[in-house]
Amino acid sequence: MKALLAFSAALTGFSALSLAMDRHYEDYKGRGTAPPAALRRWMRLGGALGLALSLWAAMAGYGSAQGWVFWFGAMTVAALAVVLTLSYAPRRIVRLLRAGAVLVALGLLGSLASGV
């Protein structure tokens, strides 16, 4: 359950961080649009929290030695998914963000149910 949480939190974090950038927001919304300043701040904060939650889940699930290795692997796979989505289907990045958020919620519920 912690592996799912670590991966989905990294996926959500990278998706949010990418939408906070002008270039990727333009790819999603159309040329000439930029994210509002408030949305940009929230996306950056959400992205940072997603990556921090991913690190916590990896450490909690695999310990301090293997947790770092798993975290870097989860971040690599999540970043690859975001890059491929932005390259080939940029308008679907919000779907990826929502799917990641749902998986984070399910992972958190599963962690709470199992007693963290």
pLDDT along the chain (116 residues), means of 10: 88 91 82 84 93 94 92 95 88 84 84 72
pLDDT of residue 36: 85
| Radius of gyration of the chain measured on its C-alpha atoms | 14
- Tokens linked to 31: 């040329």
pLDDT of residue 116: 58
- Tokens linked to 23: 């270039």
pLDDT of residue 93: 83
Instruction: Round to whole Å and give the CA distance between 84 and 113.
Output: 34
